[in-house]
A and B are shown apart, each in its own frame.
Chain A
Amino acid sequence: MTLLARSATGIRDDIAAGRMSATEICRASVERAETINSRLNAFNLIDPDRALARAADVDRRRTAGEALGPLAGVPVALKDNMCVRGMRTTASSRILENFVAPYDATVVRRLETADAVIIGKTNCDEFAMGSSNENSAFGPVRNPWATDRTPGGSSGGSAAAIAAQCVPLALGSDTGGSIRQPASFCGVSGLKPTYGRVSRYGLLAFASSLDQIGPFARSAADCATALSVLAGPDPCDSTAAHEPVPDYAAELTGDVRGLRVGVPRRFVTEGVEETVRRAFDEALATLHDRGATLVDIELPHARYAIPVYYLVATAEASSNLARYDGVKYGRRSAAAKDQGLKAMYSRTRDEGFGAEVKRRIMLGTYVLSAGYYDAFYLKAQQVRTLLRRDYEQAFEQVDVVTMPTSPTPPFRLGEKTSDPLEMYLADVFTVSVNLVGVPGISIPCGLAGSLPIGFQVIGRMFDEATILRVADAYQRATDWHTRVPEVAG
């Protein structure tokens, strides 16, 4: 257990110095993941053979005196919507149950070039659509802090794998909060980088104007190290930005003196549970004590972020998921064998997709259809512009914007499954960040009883360095991020 309680950079340094072998930590990680999986269902796949072979390679190269990468020997888990060549990649969907990826996602190449060791794929909501992980075709993930609660979604397995100390680093994807909200619910740190900061080549697309890959870890400092590995342009993804990639870890000075911290007080008051509001205010007080200036700001259109998000994201999803038609990706319905092409498409999709995915494809198809496009889709895109202007104006007054990550601590499994709209409302503080494109991080800032609460720090476009600095400074002053659930004890 003590091995896996180490930070990613601590593990890397120990391996580089010969105090620990990559094989040793890899074996511990795989064993831990296998044990914990029977309780939490956090992994769709664990691949010990591949992982141990890579770890042995790291050890061999260290012994030979070769230079090692910045994540040498660090065990990593990937959300199961990212392609690893030769590995099953399902997006937790029946329609991809037997899909074996024929190529590596760019983030996989980058991780492995940095000598990280991928141990497996984590459970998630089907095609990353959900806020509780209950939309997985392979069953929900359980929250390590309370196994009758959700770990959040959609990257719930990655967040749970960090909290339960299976791995020190995991990747998720965030389209409307799918990294930050599970990070909040599982008491870990999770970063959604700026739109375009990290290549999405090899990420199964959900909503292409919103999707972004990012890291989970137990500290902002480890997220910083991971981001420097992941970020950068990619000839395979024209949306991957050419902005220079700083050494994010080197910019963690611990100093927030004079930093202007924006608080959209009016927006964060409504519908926020008392325990969350109190933890949020205490986190702000901590930053103030460290020398930051708190500034009240307004985000007048933030209240429309949820409807805008669910109109835009479903429209894009209905288009992106058209490719799953029984021709190229494994599953084809046997029922429509002799009824022609169209029946084959429709049957395959009805059998292969779960209820939430169908609901979103239907909604997206509707809002893009003749007669409704202007009233819903176009209107949503216009309000999206107004939302971006809100943030641009806010960032003229402040350096970061803060909010709770979620209005409540983790809710119970089954609590919101009968009412999709109620589930959508859980995303109130996360979706605007994706619509605007800016980066956001969630870090632990308290407990409601034994349930984690998250604090969200949002930055300017491509200014991950500042939100990481704020998050790291907060973690130097507090110990919430060091708390571990009993399941990991």
Chain B
Amino acid sequence: MAAELTRADVERIATLAHLELTDEEKDLFTAQLAGILHYAEQVQQVDTTGVPPMAHVGAERTERDDEPRPSMPTADALANAPDAALDAGLFRVPRVIGG
């Protein structure tokens, strides 16, 4: 699993992560992430045959009835939005479809 991390990988990952990196950042992260991943590869030496993954501590499971309850007023939820349509109670974003 000694895949060499390339600048193209970094660009691909940045697109997935919605990060528009500068050229300097791409160079820096290519070197740094390769170093960190190389270090992290040591987990692959551990024999984990038949060992279940631990996604969370899972001390207990709590579920509640799905009943409507009062929640935050729409105006409060919109208060931090850089662009909100307050009357309509909506967050506004740049055009998604068409031009």
Contacts and interface: CB of A to CB of B under 8 A. Distances in A.
Instruction: Tell me whether A and B are bound partners.
Output: yes
Interface of A: 98-100, 102-103, 194-196, 208-209, 233, 235, 238-243, 301, 304, 307-308, 310-311, 318, 322, 325-332, 336-347, 349-350, 353, 355, 358-359, 361-363, 365-366, 369, 372, 375-376, 378-386, 388, 420-421, 424, 436-437, 461-462
B14 A362 contact: yes
Contact of A384 (B10, B35, B54, B77): B54
Contacts of A347: 20
Contact of B91 (A327, A339, A376): A327
Contact of B16 (A99, A239, A326, A365): A365
A67 to B, nearest CB: 29
Given A307-B43, A327-B93, A421-B36, A195 B13 contact: no
A383 B48 contact: yes
7 nearest CB pairs, A to B? A381-B53, A437-B57, A346-B20, A332-B82, A382-B48, A102-B76, A307-B40
B89 to A, nearest CB: 13
Contacts of A359: 29, 32-33
Contacts of A339: 94
A362 B80 contact: no
B36 A242 contact: no
Tell me if B's interface is mostly helix, strand, loop or mixed: loop
B72 A103 contact: yes
A366 B9 contact: yes
B81 A328 contact: yes
A362 B53 CA distance: 23
Contact of A379 (B37, B43, B77, B93): B43
Given A361-B17, A362-B13, A386-B46, A340 B29 contact: no
A421 B96 contact: no
Given A209-B57, A243-B59, A372-B3, 7 more contacts: A100-B80, A196-B59, A322-B18, A341-B95, A343-B20, A355-B28, A366-B37
Contact of A102 (B35, B43, B77, B94): B77
Interface string B44-56: 1010100111111
A366 B53 contact: no
Contacts of A209: 55-57
A242 to B, nearest CB: 7
B54 to A, nearest CB: 4
Interface in B34-86: 35-37, 39-44, 46, 48, 51-57, 59-60, 62-64, 72, 76-77, 79-83
A365 B21 CA distance: 14
A481 B38 CA distance: 40
B4 interface: no
B1 A375 contact: yes
A208 B19 CA distance: 22
B34 to A, nearest CB: 11
Contacts of B63: 238
Contacts of A436: 57
B46 A383 contact: yes
Number of contact residues on B: which range applies? Answer: 35 or more
A333 B76 CA distance: 22
B59 A461 contact: yes
B21 A420 contact: no
Nearest to B92: A327
Contacts of A328: 77, 80-81, 91
Contact of B40 (A242, A353, A376): A376
B1 A327 contact: no
Which residue of A336, A362, A375, A386 has the most chain B CB atoms within 10 A of its CB atom? A362
A241 B18 CA distance: 35
A327 B9 CA distance: 28
A235 B64 contact: yes
Contacts of B41: 307
A414 to B, nearest CB: 17
Contacts of A353: 19
Nearest to A380: B43
Given A235-B64, A384-B54, A386-B46, A340 B91 contact: no
30 contacts: A100-B80, A102-B76, A103-B72, A103-B76, A195-B57, A209-B57, A238-B64, A327-B82, A327-B93, A328-B80, A330-B80, A340-B94, A340-B95, A340-B96, A341-B95, A342-B18, A344-B94, A346-B14, A347-B20, A353-B19, A362-B19, A362-B29, A365-B17, A369-B13, A375-B44, A382-B48, A382-B51, A383-B48, A385-B54, A386-B51
